[in-house]
Structure 1
């Protein structure tokens, strides 16, 4: 006997349409409310920069909205699952489907397929849009909401060791021999790590080897004396390649760029477990939308007249939000090295997939 994975074509389209419209409605509502709250907290900082006005506020919104969509799309799928199944159960439509011979998995199949398509869209959207918007927004924030830097990949607060000494820069832009540092401080330290002197400069360029400081000023810690210096070249052991991999922000890089950054860090012998976990989470994060119909389906089954429909909806919501809590906790544990990166990214997904399937089978019985 052939087993049908989906209900009839008409019923599958009907359920998918209900699901998609509710996802869009919930996502639109969440984004509007959260964007308004976020704009209230940031508008003062944006308008504090001379010359900023309404255009800059709209520009901030165009950069922030993709982040909100990426973060709250899985939540929207969870809430849309509850808003889809609640009226279907209340109006006895689920009972009619079961009476027609459909299993709980067949009723859920159109929603799971829709959620898979949303996950694929979310993955592409995150890699193509969100990473670019995040890079530009962080660079703009670092500039105090002044003119948007031409290089959206500007890195902030970079620290580079050269033996016992440290070369610090407020911002680093460019790449290779064109790398430029701004807000530079060269800390001269002894073997015990005690700072002997500080050399400050507004900018530095690569001198091949070393970094040439512009108008440097030296402060002697022991003598508490400040001296203006001429051309000064420091940190001759620091190369542009080391600068490029010093501070990797996985939120700014797509999965391919992050792979290259991880390979470069690994080749230099640096710890990459945190970035490995972020890399795997770039895949498991968008796929979390697939879990939401499974976790929220507890609201679909069971008699509405039993008086437990609200309890079932609360259980479904609790399961969905519990996944996000466990997912963030596992990722944090992976960053600390307690879990392997792959386990930290995928264990919550597999755990809640099994939990959702167990709850679905039990509620069906």
Structure 2
């Protein structure tokens, strides 16, 4: 007789959840350790090259990069953890025993889906509270060539704007409104396609309707002359929002602040496609964790002695990786405005939800 309860056995549910969480956590730790070691090998030379940087800065870099690796590879870890769990259950005929007791494939899968929902909620909170701040800080630090810098909530890095024919680059932008400060500013003054002068300033602050440039070094291309000044003035008529709206990176903003930035972009008449896609992907990204047990379930149902265990596990892994490929493609199309941002963020999720559910129903038959 078939049991139609969603969770017919508390003992089985806790057993499956414990296996799933333990294996997913082990895979995530292994992935993060390996990837962090490789990343640190590539960046440690650049960090230590800066005078004054030492072991403390290496650990600071690790503390900033680890949250980003967790954010990116958590769905992969859940996929692999689910595959390992299902493969082990199938090899030991535990799935056969569960089905013989009257449990359906959906009832076997239900505890893992519930656990994945909890993981998705925690992942969203982690991304909003930890990963966003880490991304903003490490990107600014990297763009500043690992020079010492203070952390700031309103911090942007490597911002470019165009003023008439001139280009302006600010390596660090901090603050907002009248308190906005630019650091390591370079102004490329041009006459048509010809470069006339390059002005480098250590710091720039607002002074009336212009900007006061401090510790300035300028190179005149026509006279081949370098000149140094304590301070000068420039960028007349350039408002602070030109810098704050020039670069809106969704990964560096939490959900609420990104919505505010989108409203500011709209009021300034600037494109918002990339920001909107990133906004909705903040929801669909963590939610993708819920899909992973469903896509990996292909490895669970079938007899281990049939000889197709490896094939079914490979198919489950292939489905999971196909989702990430389609998700990235969809997000890229949304960034350029090829189709609506909500569709770009959620279409892959619902597509693979239907695919996984179809395969699960077939296994029931």
TM-score (norm 1): 0.92
Separation in 2 of the partners of 1:35 and 1:93?
36
Alpha-carbon distance between aligned partners in 1 of 2:267 and 2:290, rounded to the nearest angstrom:
36
Confirm or deny that 1:79 pairs with 2:80.
yes
Q: Note the 1:106-125 alignment, pairs <5 A.
A: 106-125=107-126
8 Å Cα contact 1:186-1:234 kept in structure 2? no
Q: For residues 239-279 of structure 1, give each alpha carbon's deviation from its aligned partner in whole angstroms, at most 9, with x where no partner exists.
A: 11332222122212111111111111111000010111111
- Please name the residue that 1:357 is paired with: 357
**Residue 289 of structure 1: CA displacement?**
0.4
Query: Does the CA contact (< 8 Å) of 2:140 and 2:172 recur in 1?
Result: no
| Greater shift in the superposed pair: 44-53 or 350-359 | 44-53
For 2:234, the equivalent position in structure 1 comes to 234
Which residue does 1:36 correspond to in 2? Answer: 37
- For residue 145 of structure 1, report the CA deviation from its aligned partner: 2.3
Residue pair 1:162, 1:237 contacting (<8 A) in 2 also = no
Say whether the 8 Å CA contact 1:139–1:152 is kept in structure 2.
no
2-structure distance, mates of 1:83, 1:235: 59
Structure 1 residue 85, shift from structure 2 partner: 0.9
* Structure 1, 226-235 or 313-322: larger mean CA deviation: 226-235
Deviation at 1:59, TM superposition (A): 1.8
Question: Is 1:10 the counterpart of 2:11 in the alignment?
Answer: yes
Aligned twin of 2:201: 201
Aligned to 2:50: 49
Tell which deviates more after alignment, 103-112 or 129-138: 129-138
In 2, Cα distance between equivalents of 1:206 and 1:353: 52
Give, in whole Å, the separation in 1 of the partners of 2:39 and 2:146: 15
1:183, 1:201 within 8 Å by CA — same for their partners in 2? yes
Task: Report the alpha carbon displacement of residue 194 of structure 1 after superposing the two structures with TM.
Answer: 5.1
Deviation, 1:280, is 0.6
C-alpha contact 1:27 1:73 (8 A) present in aligned 2? yes
For each residue in 1:57-111, what CA deviation from the matched residue of structure 2 results, as whole angstroms up to 9, or x when unmatched?
A: 2222111111111111111111111111112111111111111111110110000
Relative to structure 1, the CA distance from residue 219 to residue 137 in structure 2 (aligned partners, 3 Å threshold; closer, same or farther) is: closer
Cα separation, partners in 2 of 1:330 and 1:165, compared to 1, 3 Å = same
Shifted more, 87-96 versus 170-179: the winner is 170-179
Shift of 1:113: 0.4
Do the aligned partners of 2:3 and 2:102 also contact (CA within 8 Å) in 1?
no
Cα 1:127–1:107 shift into 2, 3 Å: same
Matched ranges for 1:271-282 at <5 A: 271-282=271-282
1:230 Cα deviation (Å)?
Answer: 8.5
1:239–1:281 distance in 2 versus 1, CA, 3 Å: same
Q: Partner of 1:212: helix, strand, or coil?
A: strand
In the TM superposition, 1:322-341 aligns within 5 A as: 322-341=322-341
- Tell me the distance in 1 between the aligned counterparts of 2:18 and 2:27: 14
Aligned to 1:303: 303
Greater displacement, 236-245 / 16-25: 236-245
Residue in 1 that maps onto 2:289: 289
Gaps of 5+ in 2: none
RMSD: 2.2
* In 2, Cα distance between equivalents of 1:262 and 1:313: 42
Q: Which moved more, 1:120-129 or 1:13-22?
A: 13-22
Looking at structure 1, the residues matched to 27 and 335 of structure 2 have their Cα atoms a distance apart, in angstroms, of 32
C-alpha distance 218-58 of structure 1, shift in aligned 2 (>3 A): closer
> Does 2:128 match 1:127?
yes
Aligned to 1:264, the other structure's residue is in SS state helix
Number of residue-to-residue matches in the alignment? 364
Distance 1:78 1:275 in 2: 28
- Of the structure 1 ranges 248-257 and 50-59, higher mean CA displacement relative to structure 2 is found in 50-59
